[in-house]
Homo-oligomer: A and B are copies of this chain.
């Protein structure tokens, strides 16, 4: 069954979740970083810099820098692929999984509230 949502509901949901993100101030992730983080945690591994760059339609340095900053936040980790040492495998972390889960809960909760149209 399709997930039905009207435009006005979509906008209120989008606004409310963004308000939560801004107010908590914890994430500080740009749209690109958010897309990268969720791709890592939703799509099947392994993830590489090149693969992420292709999926997002951005250049490789964008991915490298995003991984740098998200790594500093403990949201992801990098490791050399021993079978092909040119590759770098991006790995998930507990902190990253928790952050993703928190985001999901926020969206779910705000969607529930919006039901009272």
Residues of chain A having any CB pair with chain B under 8 Å:
1-15, 18-19, 21-23, 25, 27, 29-32, 34-35, 38-39, 41-42, 55-58, 100-101, 103-105, 107-108, 111-116
Q: Report B-chain residues with C-beta under 8 Å of the C-beta of A15.
A: 34-35, 38-39, 42
Contact A1 B38 (CB under 8 A): no
Task: Select from chain B the residue with minimum beta-carbon distance to A113.
Answer: B2
The interface residues of chain B lying within 8 Å CB-to-CB of A32 are 22
Contact of A104 among B1, B8, B58 (CB under 8 A): B8
Are A11 and B31 neighbours in the complex by a CB distance under 8 Å?
A: no
Q: Which of B2, B3, B22 contacts A57 (CB 8 A)?
A: B22
